[in-house]
Homo-oligomer: A and B are copies of this chain.
Amino acid sequence: MKSTATLLITCPDAKGIVAAIADFLYQHDANILHADQHQDAENNLFLMRVEWDLATFNLDEAAFGQAFARIAAQFSMIWQLKLSLHKTRVAIMVSQYDHCLADLLHRHKSGELDCEIPLVISNHRDTEALVKFYGVDFHYLEVSKDNKPQAEAAQFKLFADYNIDLIVLARYMQILSPDFVARYPQRIINIHHSFLPAFIGARPYHRAFERGVKLIGATGHYVTEVLDEGPIIEQDIDRISHRDQVEDLIQKGRDLERSVLAKAVRWHIENRILLYANKTVIFD
């Protein structure tokens, strides 16, 4: 696989941005592999993702920062550079339902998720054998009403010990404290088992059944301080009928949760997501 660099940029829209970036990359001999951009006219924003082959590029990471600083300053850019060599380190948190976990571990092993998954944390022991089968460290941490701060402190320590970049809540049935959420901005992805904003909160399949909807859904989103209100990364739905009971909704929903969460994680680790105005731009 090629060694590449990916640059994500957000800035006020202005004439000459693309010319400046393209010219900069050309001057430093970059071979552009993919480039995609988006203008948000309403918010006067320019957003861009550009990925290039490092084989011929004549700047290293530090030199890039120095050289790019002038353009970044000129256009008031917020930017981040990510090298494909530096793989995102992912921790998965899970409770008892293991379908998303098993799916992520299998996709990772198959090479579909270009990241490292060194750590799984659970408040149950059910998934321990599965996690170990895939060669991943499993840490059991009991969480109760009484020990939540201590449990989260232990989680933070594990994230630090393992150099975790991204936390994936793969049907983790505990609500994170505001402190937890604030520590990892745009670095926690959750799967919610409804098409948000419908059925925010608990037991969405039961409520979908009671309401008599004809579609059920799942939503992958970043976690923010307000429950189920974070920026949506991906959603999908499946069709149901009167023949489907709650258990059927739950079963069909598992397939949605799996594929939606996997896409959200993949787009994050491939640096395809830009956030603004509580929304995501997905450069696919």
A contacts, CB < 8 Å to B: 15-16, 18-19, 21-23, 25-26, 29-42, 98-99, 102, 106, 110, 112, 129-130, 133, 195-199, 211-215, 217, 231-237, 241-243, 245, 251, 254-255, 259, 277-282, 284
Q: A15-B26, A198-B195 are in contact. Are A38 and B112 (CB under 8 A)?
A: no
A270 to chain B, nearest CB (A): 12
Q: Complex formed: what's the CA distance from A23 to B130 in Å?
A: 50
Inter-subunit contact B235/A215 (CB<8 Å): yes
Q: Complex formed: what's the CA distance from A255 to B242 in Å?
A: 24
| Number of this chain's copies in the complex | 4
Can you list 12 A-B pairs, Cβ within 8 angstroms, ordered by A?
A16-B26, A18-B32, A102-B106, A133-B133, A196-B213, A197-B198, A197-B199, A198-B198, A212-B231, A212-B279, A215-B237, A242-B280
Task: For A36, list chain B residues within 8 Å (CB).
Answer: 36-37
- Nearest B residue to A31 via CB reads B15
Inter-subunit contact B237/A211 (CB<8 Å): no
- Nearest B residue to A258 via CB reads B255
Identify 18 new A-B residue pairs, CB closer than 8 A, beyond the known A195-B213, A237-B237.
A15-B32, A18-B35, A19-B25, A32-B39, A42-B245, A98-B110, A129-B133, A133-B133, A195-B195, A196-B211, A196-B213, A197-B198, A197-B211, A211-B232, A212-B280, A213-B232, A214-B232, A215-B217
Q: Complex formed: what's the CA distance from A102 to B199 in Å?
A: 31
Task: For A284, list chain B residues within 8 Å (CB).
Answer: 243
Task: For A231, list chain B residues within 8 Å (CB).
Answer: 212
- Nearest B residue to A229 via CB reads B211
- Nearest B residue to A129 via CB reads B133
Q: Complex formed: what's the CA distance from A3 to B31 in Å?
A: 34
Within 8 Å by CB of A213, from B35, B235, B241, lies B235
Task: For A251, list chain B residues within 8 Å (CB).
Answer: 112
A283 to chain B, nearest CB (A): 9
Residue with the highest number of chain B CB atoms closer than 10 Å, among A15, A42, A231, A233:
A15
The 9 A-B residue pairs with the shortest CB-CB distance in the complex, in nearest-first order: A212-B279, A19-B22, A198-B198, A19-B26, A18-B22, A242-B281, A214-B235, A19-B23, A16-B26
Q: Complex formed: what's the CA distance from A25 to B237 in Å?
A: 39
Inter-subunit contact B282/A242 (CB<8 Å): yes
Task: For A22, list chain B residues within 8 Å (CB).
Answer: 18-19, 21-23
A102 to chain B, nearest CB (A): 5
Inter-subunit contact B15/A30 (CB<8 Å): yes
- Nearest B residue to A236 via CB reads B215
Task: For A279, list chain B residues within 8 Å (CB).
Answer: 212, 242
Task: For A198, list chain B residues within 8 Å (CB).
Answer: 195-198
Inter-subunit contact B19/A241 (CB<8 Å): no
